[in-house]
Structure formats: C-alpha cells, structure tokens
Amino acid sequence: MADQKQFVSSSNVKKLKANRTTELISKFVLITLGAIIAGVALELFLVPNAIIDGGITGISLMLTNITGIPLGIFLFTINLPFLFVGFRQVGKKFAFSSLYGIAVLSLTTAYLHPVEAFTHDKLLAVLFGALLLGLGVGLVLRVGGTTDGAEIVAILISKKVNISVGQIILIINVVIFIVAGFLLGWDSAMYSIFTYYIASKVMDVIVQGLDESKSVTVITTHYEEVSEAIMKSLGRSTTYLYARGGMSKQDTQVIYCVVSRLELSMLKTVVREIDPGAFIAIETVSDVTGGSFTGEKAH
C-alpha cells in the first residue's frame, strides 16, 4: 500500500513537472511570436513614417527618427535599467519574461531595419501598424511579460504615491506625445496619438478576450426561484452570499454568478420574469478561470 501511494505521488509530481514545462514553453513561444509581430509593426510601418508609440518604445522611436540609429539599440539600452529595477522590486519571473521579450523585439527590429517599409501612406501605417503592435504586445502581456519598461516605472511609482498605474502611464505618454510634437512635428504627434489609442484597444481584446465576462449580483426575495431559473435557462452555476438589509435589518441571501456578455440579456429577462423589482448589479470581469465557467456548464 505504501509503495502504491509513493508510485501515485511520484506520478503526480511528474505530471505537474510536465505541465509546468509545457506552460513555460507555451509562454516563451507566445512572447517570441508577440515580440516579432510588434517588431514588424514598429520597423515596417511606424518608424519609416515618423509615427511613435507611448512609453519607452515611444522614446526609442523618437530618438531613432532624430539620430538615424537603429531602433533596436535604443529599445534594449533604455529598457535595461528598468528591467534591473524590476528584477529587484517586481519579481524575477516578470523581469526575465520582459527581458526576453524586449531582446526578441530589439533583434527583430535590427533584422528588419534594412527592409523597405510596407507603405508610406500615414493613414495605412497608423491602422496596420497599430493593429499589429496591439496584437504583438497583447500576446506578450497575456502570458505575463512586457516589451516596455514604462510599466515597471509606473508600478514602482504607484507604490510611492497615491496614483494608479494606468494614470501614471497616461501622464508619461502625454509628455512623450507633447515632446514628439516639438521634435517630429504636430502631424506626426497626432498620428501617434491615434496609433497609441488603436493599439491599446487591440491589446485589451487580446489580453481580456473577445467574449467579455460579467459578474452579476442579484438581490431578490425570491432568490431560490431566481437561482434555479438561472441554472436551468443559462446553465450557469450560482452562489448564495449571506447579507443583511441596511434599512430592513432582515437577513437575506444574495445571488452571485458570472456570465458571458452575450448571456447577460437573457439573465436579466429570467430575473425580471420572476421578480420585476429585483436589484441587479453588473460588473465587468477581466479574467475567469476554473469552476464551471471555463469548462462544461452546469446541468
């Protein structure tokens, strides 16, 4: 019996190691692919048309347009100090993943530097450059890396001051685009703002997915009927949360569940049919893993 347990235990350890190895390989494959796609966007669309992005990449693009020095050199050398700080403050895995992503991005831009641009039409360069850049960077972000040290700077600053990471990145990028207006011309700066906006939206889709999830909280006196109807009609499991009314002082149960964006309208209809006066609160969920949501639906 002891030998059998030991065999099962060692088998589980081997499976766990195999899964971790597979995840690691998948992670670096996606980082490589994402960095190459981002490199194509930068070198074949944005650089030849004097269009920049935000963050350290934007600073590197400006310096490339001013000096003529290949973009890859600036991308790697400017990001390196921030990666070192990130290694000490943010975490080894994030720093190593980011270092690898930035290295691949730098090498890709260096390799593509002599290649002729795909287009010199600025509008096409903005559209296709932003789409590819958002796709590439989004893939890297999705697996826990980054291609820009500005995020590390924002994380470290946010720990010292009462400002969110997103707000800090916005402030950094506003300064970069204003400087770009003086150095590259205001037309380039305005094209760059649109490029950054489109790329950020594409990144959101890649990181969060097209099928956006919603968390729903339902407060109703008919919680058992509503819960059963949700599970029967939508196939989604529900959770009861114990609560107490602030005005009524009565104990009750609140229904909590997560549905896809497309199922939200159906859920509202189901709840309203049972209790037209039910309170429904809806929030966006950035990621959902485990449970019945990502697997088979409840039956």
- What is the CATH number for 221? 3.30.70.120
- What digits encode the pLDDT tens for the residues 52-104? 888 888 888 888 888 888 888 888 888 888 877 767 666 677 778 888 888 99
Return d(Cα 150, Cα 72) in angstroms, integer: 16
> Of the ranges 16-25, 154-163, 175-184, 290-299, which one carries the lowest mean pLDDT score?
290-299
pLDDT per residue over 135-160, tens digit each?
998 888 887 777 787 777 776 777 67
How high is the pLDDT of residue 37? 93
Question: Identity (one letter) of the amino acid at 53?
Answer: D
pLDDT averaged over every residue in the chain: 80
Specify the range with the lowest mean pLDDT, choosing from 13-22, 87-96, 224-233, 285-294.
Answer: 285-294
Q: Which of 208, 242, 265 is the last residue of a domain?
A: 208
Residue 144 CB contacts under 8 Å (≥ 6 apart), including other chains: 27, 93, 94, 97
pLDDT value of residue 196 = 84
Pick from 186, 208, 230: which residue ends a domain?
208
Can you give the residue range of the structural domain that contains 113? 2-208
Residues 56 and 162 in one domain: yes
- Inform me whether the pLDDT recorded for 296 exceeds 50: no
- Which has more pLDDT, 29 or 292? 29
43 and 81, same domain (yes or no): yes
Does 99 share its domain with 232?
A: no
Q: What is the rounded distance in angstroms from the CA atom of residue 192 to the CA atom of residue 66? A: 16
* Cα angle: 41, vertex 44, 48; to 5 degrees: 115
Asked whether residue 297 is assigned to any structural domain, the reply reads no
76 and 186 in a single domain? The answer is yes
Phi, psi of 222 (to 5 degrees): -105, 45
- 149, 147, 150: which is closest to 108 by C-alpha? 147
Q: Which residue has the higher pLDDT, 7 or 116?
A: 116
Residues 252 and 142 reside in one and the same domain: no
Tokens encoding 277: 């006066």
Decide: pTM greater than 0.75: no
Which residue has better confidence, 80 or 266? 80
Domain boundary among 208, 242, 276: 208
Element (H, E) at 243: strand 239-244
Q: Is residue 299 part of a domain?
A: no
Domain count, the chain: 2
